[in-house]
Amino acid sequence: QQPVQSPQAVILREGEDAVINCSSSKALYSVHWYRQKHGEAPVFLMILLKGGEQKGHEKISASFNEKKQQSSLYLTASQLSYSGTYFCGTAQEANFGNEKLTFGTGTRLTIIP
């Protein structure tokens, strides 16, 4: 069963913050976050593992709450380049490279000047 992402779409002004959530009905081992711009391939942002810490990447960070089976992606002081569709991909087991990812339906983020 695919993870559920919320919100489905969000429009922000440059400099505002956003939170994107990814929830699963099943226990998760890892959550992978990707950003996809229109007509392009998904680009890897970060992985969060069960038992791991919150991760950060410049102004983009994420957390993973194993008990709630939920991950959240935080975008702070958003830039125009952050526009795109964000997908979470989830894996239920530690597959050591052989990740069969189940992707969520995506969150379309639009940043306006």
Partner 1 sequence: EPEVTQTPSHQVTQMGQEVILRCVPISNHLYFYWYRQILGQKVEFLVSFYNNEISEKSEIFDDQFSVERPDGSNFTLKIRSTKLEDSAMYFCASSEALPGIPAYEQYFGPGTRLTVT
Q: Are 42 and 35 in contact (CB under 8 A)?
A: yes
CB of 16 to partner 1, least distance (A): 26
Cβ distance to partner 1 smaller for residue 16 or 102: 102
Find, among 35, 105, 33, the residue nearest to 62 by Cα. 33
Q: Which two tokens stand for residue 88?
A: 């979470």
Taking CB under 8 A as the criterion, which residues in 7-26 touch partner 1? Answer: none
CB of 13 to partner 1, least distance (A): 25
Does residue 89 interact with partner 1 by CB under 8 A? yes
Q: Are 20 and 86 in contact (CB under 8 A)?
A: yes
**12, 29, 61, 74: residue in contact with partner 1 (rule CB under 8 A):** 29
Strands (E), 1-113: 4-6, 9-13, 18-23, 30-36, 43-49, 55-57, 60-65, 70-75, 84-91, 102-103, 107-112
**4, 12, 19, 101: residue in contact with partner 1 (rule CB under 8 A):** 101
Cβ distance to partner 1 smaller for residue 76 or 105: 105
Binding site for partner 1 (CB under 8 A): 2, 29-30, 32, 34, 36, 40-44, 47, 49, 87, 89, 91, 94-106
